[in-house]
Structure 1
Amino acid sequence: MTDQYDELLPTTRRALLHRIAVAQSEGRTPSLVAAVVRDGRLVWSDARGMVDGHAPTADVQYRIGSLTKTFVAVLVLRLRDEGLLDLADPLGRHLPGTPADDATVAQLLAHAGGIAAETPGPWWERTDGALRPALGDILERERPQKHPAGRRHHYSNPGYALLGALVERLRGDSWGEVLHREILEPLGMDRTTLLPRHPHAGGFAVHPWADVMLPEPLTDTGLMGPAGQLWSTAADLARWAAFLAGGDDEVLAADTLAEMRRPAVGPESDDWTGGYGLGLQLLRHDGRVLYGHSGSMPGFTAGLWISEKDGLAAIALANATSGANTPLVAADLIALTARHEPRLPEPWRPLPAVDPDLLALTGPWYWGASAHALRLKANRMLELAPLAGGTRSSRFRAEPDGTWTGLDNYYAGETLRAVPAADGSVSHLDLGSFVLTREPYGPSDAVPGGVDPQGWSAG
């Protein structure tokens, strides 16, 4: 990804700068750096700091807290895609002897395993990891389970420590080494590390009632590292956002990343504003659904969000324990960019070649008396949509055997077949046992239960 800082209009850049200036000033944070990615390219980055002339650049490291979890989740999904585990596997099948043996890998990824939010003992984020030398030390032995597994979202930092240990067990190496080898190096993220490297920001707490600061400790959290240990830069996280948006076959396929950002546990209220997939948070903001993650550690906060429909991502990093609300800042940067420079649709272009048999499938089809339209898209993909408002629209991917597989909505995973008639033409479509015909309820031999021989009448 080429770093470009001048691709946005001056009015857009001014609006973005104003947003981070307000966040740094009103949030009383020593410094704040931010970036915007458009269609996989870093197109803007700027910063504000308390020392005139010394604002950080996009190459200065900040601690990113729970953004670390997105990296761990990708490592786990790589294991799944390689066949080394199944998301339905209980953790104990691969990492026996922990207090969370019965929680599944998917539940841990989605914070749905029901296990405790934090470790027993002292505040793990501000204490040395040597205080928790074994996996048994990161969860209470007496009551590690706070909720029935799979029933609700209950954020768990120890859950991600266990996932990091799972990666180590199946790869035979430390999770940090695996991270470097399998993700950071292929993506060119050489400024993302477990411990800080110069230049990096120092972390501070700002007094709630006075404009004075206190340094926060820069700890190595040991076994809890997969929950929030990483340090990174705005430029490196722009590369990470571009990957999360589009995938990279050397690291993780786009289809798997799409699986990660689907909600894994249902919302608990009708007016939900946040959710969680497999290692990715979901956020409703300014009329769009974003995915990414927030992060915080003592002295630092971070936010990274991606808007699929806008082709935009944004990052905000600050070096104060609280105040700047960097997740909201990052979300606002997406909204501002989309408002000032809405995404241009791709030009319409005709398909390069059309199979006549596929073209013959297009047009109206009827499920009983309900009218649908079948459209042909690129790469032999089909799109089926009701013509009278309904909700069962789906896209279908062509398979080598001549069938199609549903990609989304009601028919996701279902098989669509064109059933031939005796003369070689298409008699009807079969969609997961539903029959679609070229006229309402006809022909009778294709419709389950048959069709009244008297046909349609006035009453």
Structure 2
Amino acid sequence: MTSDTVLPGTARALLARLATAQSEGRLPSLVAAVVRDGATVWSGARGLVDGAAPTRATQYRIGSITKTFVAVLVMRLRDEGRLDLNDPLERHVPGTGVGHVTVGQLLSHTAGLRAEPDGDWWERAPGVDTATMLAMLGPGRAAFRAGRRFHYSNLGYALLGHLVARLRGVDWHAAVTAEILDPLGMAGTSYLPRPGHARGWAVHPWADALLPEPAHDAGALAPAGQLWSTLPDLARWAAFFAGDTGGVLAGDTLAEMCEPAGVDDGPHWIIGHGLGPQLARREGRQLAGHTGSMPGFVATVWAERETATGVVLAANATNGAFTGLDSDLRAILAEREPALPTWSPDPEVEPDVLALTGTWYWGPTPHTLRLCPGRTFELAPVGAAGRGTRLRPDGAGGWTGQEGYFAGETLTVVRAADGTPSHLDLGTFRFTREPYPGEDWV
């Protein structure tokens, strides 16, 4: 299973890295794809499934990647006005015992709920019904105060699946199919596996022996890790996170989902979490996506939104060791076939907007305001001092900050009596064409 839109040498290097990972990780089978600008530019497979090489139709269980589909459904409901992320769960799903936590906290794993349900390891046991799952919840059984910190919770996403079902009037996975899979052409993704799927295995730690893993219906916990998918579908999902939403979600909403809402490893975070997606920082790049594991399976979907590049992996082993493989595949492509930049002039520059560009001063501190495509601005300090941000039109004649101190703040143009710009007001910060105009400098 390969595609050849990359050069032969690049394809060989990618396949060699994949083969090394499959061999050294002792994985029964391993599949991978690299995505750029919404298209799969390379895919490969190693190992066997029922005595034959995996194909494009071979399904693997994708575990917690399922959570990202549920999160997209919740954000669609938010965009429709059916809920607010600050709503307490009780407003939409009464009687849970944790009705005080908010929808946004559940999405970002900051609701303080425990990670796992009571009883045996739920991923290897038949799933419980919703009533049994809800009985496991309550204020006295929380891990942390709601909002205190990030704490990954499968129970939280089980509740979100229940929330979607309540508001849509259909099972959460039926909503996933109708609202996400069908529009994006992801026909290889399903609730239960289809004939020809990969079987999940545990590999003995000290011998080349295999033990079949169970694949139960997770029941009420299914929104946390039930789905099965194929390599082409996972590649489409990586393209989604890279920005090609296919109309399923607004671009601004996806960007909001991919903002850090919690971090897993302190102020110099490497792994974090948004409103559904996991986030990672590697080699100066920020990635969005999710990892997944269920007994017998591991999978990964990562996308670098800045370069619209993604990598997906799936294997049928409980402890698949392919840490760093996605980074290596992305690096091979970037080194051997770097993306080719291009520049073209903006044919729709408006004179009144162009007149705002150039140097502005906050007090004595100089900043530059540069016009970028889409009538966006980039405000940057000259030198190290000062605060900068990107600004997008707000549709009402102003611009809204997108990052840093000025994120969410509004920039308005204050004009003199003759209509010329007097100064810029950015969240009460006044920017003028001269440092402290009208003051007596000595």
TM-score interval, normalised by the smaller of the two chains? over 0.9
Q: Secondary structure at the match of 2:411?
A: strand
Deviation digits for residues 354-400 of structure 1 (CA, Å, limit 9, x no counterpart): 32222222111111100011112223222211112236222222234
Report the equivalent of 1:386. Answer: 381
Report the equivalent of 2:178. Answer: 181
CA RMSD of aligned residues (A): 2.0
Give the superposition deviation at 1:247.
Answer: 4.2
Moved more, 65-74 or 98-107: 98-107
Q: Find 2:118's aligned residue among 117, 120, 124.
A: 120
Classify 1:175/1:391 alpha carbon distance in 2 versus 1 (closer, same or farther; 3 Å): farther
Report the equivalent of 1:160. Answer: 157
Q: Distance in 2 between matches of 1:195 and 1:313?
A: 26
Report the equivalent of 1:339. Answer: 335
Q: Secondary structure at the match of 1:246?
A: coil
Moved more, 224-233 or 195-204: 195-204
TM-score normalised by the chain length of structure 2: 0.95
Moved more, 59-68 or 285-294: 285-294
Classify 1:286/1:397 alpha carbon distance in 2 versus 1 (closer, same or farther; 3 Å): closer
Letter in structure 1 aligned against 2:304: S
Q: Secondary structure at the match of 2:43?
A: strand
Give the superposition deviation at 1:4.
Answer: 8.7
Q: Distance in 2 between matches of 1:4 and 1:29?
A: 19
Report the equivalent of 2:36. Answer: 38
Give the superposition deviation at 1:322.
Answer: 0.8
- Counting only pairs closer than 5 Å after superposition, residues 197-236 of structure 1 correspond to structure 2 as 197-236=194-233
Deviation digits for residues 151-185 of structure 1 (CA, Å, limit 9, x no counterpart): 11111111100000000001111011111100000
Is 1:456 aligned to 2:441, yes or no?
yes
Q: Secondary structure at the match of 1:366?
A: strand
Q: Find 2:402's aligned residue among 400, 407, 428.
A: 407
Q: Secondary structure at the match of 2:196?
A: coil
Q: Distance in 1 between matches of 2:25 and 2:265?
A: 30
Letter in structure 1 aligned against 2:248: V
Q: Secondary structure at the match of 1:125?
A: helix
- Counting only pairs closer than 5 Å after superposition, residues 398-437 of structure 1 correspond to structure 2 as 398-437=393-432
> What is the identity percentage for the equivalent residue pairs of Structure 1 and Structure 2?
57
Classify 1:235/1:379 alpha carbon distance in 2 versus 1 (closer, same or farther; 3 Å): same
TM-score normalised by the chain length of structure 1: 0.92
Give the superposition deviation at 1:9.
Answer: 2.0
Classify 1:436/1:83 alpha carbon distance in 2 versus 1 (closer, same or farther; 3 Å): same
Q: Secondary structure at the match of 1:323?
A: coil
Q: Find 1:314's aligned residue among 311, 314, 333.
A: 311
Report the equivalent of 1:349. Answer: 344
Asked if structure 1 preserves the Cα contact closer than 8 Å seen for 2:27 and 2:315, the reply is yes
Q: Distance in 2 between matches of 1:182 and 1:29?
A: 34
Asked if structure 2 preserves the Cα contact closer than 8 Å seen for 1:397 and 1:407, the reply is yes
Letter in structure 1 aligned against 2:340: L
Q: Distance in 2 between matches of 1:424 and 1:252?
A: 39
Is 1:60 aligned to 2:58, yes or no?
yes
Give the superposition deviation at 1:269.
Answer: 2.3
Is 1:147 aligned to 2:132, yes or no?
no
Asked if structure 2 preserves the Cα contact closer than 8 Å seen for 1:161 and 1:223, the reply is yes
Q: Secondary structure at the match of 2:242?
A: helix
Report the equivalent of 1:75. Answer: 73
Q: Find 2:392's aligned residue among 388, 397, 405.
A: 397
Q: Distance in 2 between matches of 1:229 and 1:308?
A: 26
Asked if structure 2 preserves the Cα contact closer than 8 Å seen for 1:135 and 1:162, the reply is no
Q: Find 1:10's aligned residue among 8, 11, 21.
A: 8
Letter in structure 2 aligned against 1:276: H
Report the equivalent of 1:277. Answer: 274
Instruction: Compare CA radii of gyration and give the structure with the larger one.
Output: 1
Deviation digits for residues 251-292 of structure 1 (CA, Å, limit 9, x no counterpart): 111111111111102454244221111111111223322111
Give the superposition deviation at 1:52.
Answer: 11
Q: Distance in 1 between matches of 2:77 and 2:357?
A: 40
Q: How many residues align?
A: 442
Classify 1:201/1:377 alpha carbon distance in 2 versus 1 (closer, same or farther; 3 Å): same
Q: Secondary structure at the match of 1:243?
A: helix
Q: Distance in 2 between matches of 1:383 and 1:51?
A: 51
Q: Secondary structure at the match of 1:365?
A: strand
Classify 1:8/1:247 alpha carbon distance in 2 versus 1 (closer, same or farther; 3 Å): closer
Q: Secondary structure at the match of 1:15?
A: helix
Moved more, 29-38 or 283-292: 283-292
Asked if structure 2 preserves the Cα contact closer than 8 Å seen for 1:310 and 1:338, the reply is no
Give the superposition deviation at 1:318.
Answer: 0.3
Give the superposition deviation at 1:192.
Answer: 0.2
Q: Distance in 2 between matches of 1:175 and 1:144?
A: 26
Unaligned runs of 5+ in 1: 445-450
